[in-house]
Amino acid sequence: QELFSERGYSSVSISLSLGLSERTGMYDCPVPHNHKHTDAIEEIGLWQQWLTGQGVDSIILLGHSRGGNQTAWYASELKEGSPVKGTVLIAPASNGFDYLAADYKKRYEVDLAPLVEKANKLVADGKGDTMMENVDFIYCQKTSATAASFANYYADDPRMETTYILKEFSQPVMVFAGSEDTVVVNLEEKIEALGEKENIQMSVIDGADHFFRDLHAEDLADETVEFIESL
């Protein structure tokens, strides 16, 4: 935000509620999880409505990592006439279920598929509010999460891969990848596999990892401003 301010652009950095009222800071892992990946789509919309109510008539969306996927998902559902003029995705989550399952196994030494099957069954039986106890969830070890939350975050849904969403994306979008990113892998190749799409710009920041710190953030801000001013 400071870098964009230095370049003459104001910004609103939103905090997703993650099911909590007036949440600030990092999520406290022992707190039971009752939120969904897809909750963000509605919440981004509410913030857009707030900005519009403040008289803002030109908006650029920007999201990083999981937030990049949620931002792309939201943007893909915008109606004609929206004040959103473009979207910037920074290392947007683009790993399919097989990758997530392998990463879950590596991180927690637990198989993901049986847990997803259990969560899906509870949801199908109308028991989505049932707490799955002592379960590893997103970045939290041995926490508790509702079956509905677990099933949603680990859904085998193609839209969890941002590049799938971008296949039918018509709005101007800028995608950033870090050359040293080990979290979102092969993003450049996945974007290239979409073929020639004039609305998509791709930039690989040399030396940046998943978090684009220090001088890499300066590069990212400069290129984002160039993208905005090209619209």
Q: For the chain, 231 residues long, give each residue's pLDDT as a single digit of tens.
A: 999 999 999 999 998 999 999 998 899 999 999 999 999 999 999 999 999 999 999 999 999 999 999 999 999 999 889 999 999 999 999 988 999 999 999 999 999 999 999 999 999 999 999 999 999 999 999 999 999 999 999 999 999 999 999 999 999 999 999 999 999 999 999 999 999 899 999 999 999 999 999 999 999 999 999 999 999
| Same domain (yes/no): 83, 48 | yes
Same domain membership, residue 166 and residue 149: no
Q: Are 175 and 199 in contact (CB under 8 A)?
A: no
Asked whether residue 22 is domain-assigned, the answer is: no
Indicate if 177 and 71 belong to the same structural domain.
yes
Structural domain tally of the chain?
A: 2
156-168 pLDDT per residue, tens: 999 999 999 999 9
What letter does residue 33 receive in the DSSP assignment?
A: B
Residues 2 and 60 in one domain: yes
Answer yes or no: do 78 and 170 share one domain: yes
Q: Which single residue is written with the structure tokens 């990083």?
A: 64
Same domain for 103 and 126? yes
| Residue 180 shares a structural domain with residue 135 | no
pLDDT per residue as tens digits for the range 139-191 = 999 999 999 999 999 999 999 999 999 999 999 999 999 999 999 999 999 99
What's the CATH code of the domain at 43? 3.40.50.1820
Helix 66-76 and helix 39-53, axial crossing angle in degrees, nearest 10? 70
Residues 105 and 174 in one domain: no
Phi, psi of 32 (to 5 degrees): -55, 140
Same domain, 3 and 67: yes
Range(s) of the domain holding residue 203: 1-10+39-95+161-231
Cβ pair 74, 61 in contact under 8 A:
yes
Residues 172 and 82 reside in one and the same domain: yes
Same domain, 72 and 6: yes
